[in-house]
Amino acid sequence: MGSLQMALGTKLHFSTVFHPQMDGQLERMIQALEDMMRASVIEFRGNWDDHLQLMEFAYNNSFHSSIGMARYEALYGRKCRSPTCWDIEGLRQFEGSELVQQMVDKIQTVKKYL
C-alpha cells in the first residue's frame, strides 16, 4: 500500500471512530448530498428516488473550487453528456424539446440546493 501511495503522491490519514471532523472533505460531500436529498424529498414528494440520477448529475457536474472544475470533468477529462437518454443505455435518440426542457428544469431545481 505504501508504494502505491508513493507512486500516486498521496498520503493516507486514518480517522478514529466518532471523530468525523478528521475527514472534512468527506463530511462536506456527505452534507451536500444530504442537503440535495432533503430538498428533493420536499420538491419531488413521493417520487424523489426517481430523481437520484439527476442529483448525481447535478453534484458531479457542479464547479468545485478546490479542483477548478466539475468532478466528472476532472475524472474523465471531458464534460458529461446530457442525461436525457439515461433510461436505455446506448440509445441516442432525440426525445423532443418538452422532455429536454423538463430535464433542464429538474437539474436546475436540484442544483439550486447544492
What are the sequence ranges of the domains in the chain?
22-111
Q: Cell numbers at residue 13, please?
A: 490519514
Tell me whether residue 106 is exposed, middle or buried, using C-beta atoms within 10 angstroms of its C-beta: 0 to 12, 13 to 18, 19 or more: buried
Q: Which pLDDT tens digit goes with each residue over 58-108?
A: 888 888 888 888 888 888 888 887 655 455 555 555 556 777 777 778 777
Q: Express each pLDDT in 11-57 by its tens digit.
A: 777 766 666 666 677 778 888 888 888 888 888 888 888 888 888 88
pTM above 0.85, yes or no: no
